[in-house]
Amino acid sequence: MLEIKLNDQEAKEILLKEILRQEEGLELIASENYVSLDVLNALGSVLTNKYAEGYPGKRYYGGCEFVDMAEDLARDRVKKLFGCEYVNVQPHSGSQANMAVYFSILKPGDKIMGLNLAHGGHLTHGSPVNFSGRFFEVISYNVREDNQLVDFDQVESLAKQNKPKAIVIGASAYPRDWDYKKFREIADSIGAYLIADIAHPAGLIASKLLNDPLPYCDFVTTTTHKTLRGPRGGMIMIGKDFENREGIRAPKSGRLKMMSEIIDSNVMPGIQGGPLMHVILAKAVAFGEALRPEFVEYSKQVIKNAQRLATRFIEKGYKVTTNGTDNHLILIDLRSKGLTGKQAEDALGLAGITVNKNMVPYDTQSPMVTSGIRIGTPAVTTRGMKEPEMDIIFNFIDSALSNVNDTQKLNSIREEVKQFCSKFPIYKELLNSIS
C-alpha cells in the first residue's frame, strides 16, 4: 500500500482535493487514466534524485548501476509488449518523442504531412503554433466531410503533389483505426518516411485489438499514460522490418543500428538532458502490468464501453462522428442539439463529469468554444465499470446536457455521480493513508 506523508499542509490540502476529485467524479477525458499504486510508488521514489545522462552502460555520471537496470527493464518489457526491435524510453512526453524523430530525419524547412489539428490531429503533427509548424513546412490532410473518415484520395494527391519527406499518422480525436499499409504504399510512392504516433491507442495496440503500425511505419512514437496506463511520458520505437524497408535513407546493412544511434543522440543530447529515472522505473512497472493477460481484458472492455456509449448517444439522436468508434473514444457533434462544446464541458463539469470540448471536423466554432465534446473510456474502465455502467453514465450526461442552465439540476446530478462513483473506488486506500 502506498502511504502519503506530507508535512507541507498547503501541498497536502491540494493533493487531498485532487484525489477526491478523481475519486468522486467521472473521468471521461480520453487521454487520461488511473495508474496503479505500484506505478505511483515507483514515481514517488528516490530515483528522482539521480542524474543519468546517456544510456545504460554509457552514462556521463557515476552511480548509475541501478538506474541502468531500471532503463533496461523498461526497454526489455516494451520489446516484449510491442514486438519492436529498438526503443528509447527517455522522452519526457509525446511531444519530445515526436521532436526527436523529426530532428533525426528532417532539416528545418523540410516538408511534413499530418492530420489537420482541426480534424482530430495533434499539435505536434504540424500545427502553426507548435514547433512542428514553425520548423517545418506543413501539408495537412483532412477527414471527409460526409463520413469523417481519413480522406485517402486527398492524402495520396497531396503526397504526390508536395512530396513531403515524412508523413505522420495518428490523432488525438479520431475514433477509428488506421490503415498503416495504405499509408506505407503512399509513402513508398514518394520515398517518404512514415511515422505513426500511437499516443492514444497504444494500450489497445499492445493488446493486439487494433492494427499494428510497426510492420509498416519507420518510427512509432507514443505517450505512456493514456490507454497504456503508465506514468506521464513518451517513447520511440522502431520495428523489426526497418532493416529491409525500401526507401530508408541509410546504408543497406546496419540501418537499424545506425538509426537507433541517431534517435538516441537526438533525444539526448539533442533535445533533453537527464532522463527522469523515477518515471522510467514507473514506465517499467506499467509495461509489466500491460504484459499481463488482465490488461488485454481491460483493453477489450475499454473498446466495448466506448462502443456502448456511442450506441446510446446515437439512439438518443446525438451526432457521433464516423457513426461510432473502433477505439477508446467517441467524438460528439453537438450542433444538432443547439449546444457548443464549451457549454457542454462547463455543464458536465458542474455535474461532476469531466470531458473536454473538442473541435469536430469542419467545425464552425473557434477552438476555445468548439461544437463538440470528446469522451473516452480508459479511466472509467480502470475503475471496473462495464456496459451497464455506461448506460448509467450516458443518462447522467444526457440529463446534464438537457439542463445546461439549471444549476440545481446539475448539482443534483453531481450528488448522484458521487454516489455512483463510490461503488467503484479507485484510490480509497490512498485517501485513508494520507497523514
- For the chain, the first-to-last Cα distance in angstroms comes to 14
In the bound state with ligand DSN, the residue whose beta carbon lies nearer, of 172 and 327, is 172
Q: Cβ distance 373 to 340 under 8 Å?
A: no
Shortest spacing between CB 175 and ligand DSN, in angstroms: 13
From the list 434, 295, 362, 327, the residue with the least C-alpha distance to 148 is 362
Residues 90-119 interacting with ligand DSN (rule: CB under 6 A): 94
Among the listed residues 12, 51, 137, 156, the single catalytic one is 51
Shortest spacing between CB 246 and ligand DSN, in angstroms: 32
In the bound state with ligand DSN, the residue whose beta carbon lies nearer, of 158 and 173, is 173
Catalytic residue status for 226: yes
Using CB under 6 A, count the residues that bind ligand DSN: 4
CA distances from 267 to 49, 98, 133, 417 (A): 20, 10, 20, 43
> In a 3-state reduction of DSSP, which class is residue 405?
coil
Catalytic residue status for 197: yes
| Spatial separation of the C-alpha atoms in residues 434 and 9, rounded to whole Å | 12
Shortest spacing between CB 332 and ligand DSN, in angstroms: 16
> In a 3-state reduction of DSSP, which class is residue 126?
coil
Count of H helices and E strands in the chain? 16, 15
CA distances from 205 to 83, 136, 158, 306, 419 (A): 11, 29, 28, 16, 34
Which residue's CB atom is positioned nearest to ligand DSN?
31
In the bound state with ligand DSN, the residue whose beta carbon lies nearer, of 35 and 187, is 35
Q: Cβ distance 345 to 357 under 8 Å?
A: yes
Among the listed residues 23, 27, 151, 197, the single catalytic one is 197
Question: Angle 341-350/387-401 helices, nearest 10 degrees?
Answer: 110
The cell numbers describing 414, all together, are 453531481
Contact flags string 163-192 toward ligand DSN, x per CB under 6 A: ---------x--------------------
Shortest spacing between CB 377 and ligand DSN, in angstroms: 14
- Interface pick for ligand DSN out of 25, 31, 104, 180 (rule CB under 6 A): 31
Shortest spacing between CB 165 and ligand DSN, in angstroms: 23
- The answer to the question of residue 358 lying near ligand DSN (CB under 6 A) is no
Shortest spacing between CB 69 and ligand DSN, in angstroms: 30
| Spatial separation of the C-alpha atoms in residues 430 and 165, rounded to whole Å | 49
| Spatial separation of the C-alpha atoms in residues 414 and 399, rounded to whole Å | 11
In the bound state with ligand DSN, the residue whose beta carbon lies nearer, of 98 and 142, is 98
Catalytic residue status for 223: yes
Catalytic residue status for 51: yes
In the bound state with ligand DSN, the residue whose beta carbon lies nearer, of 96 and 307, is 96
Q: Cβ distance 206 to 81 under 8 Å?
A: yes
Active-site residues, by number, are 51, 53, 197, 223, 226, 232
* List of residues contacting ligand DSN (CB under 6 A): 31, 94, 122, 172
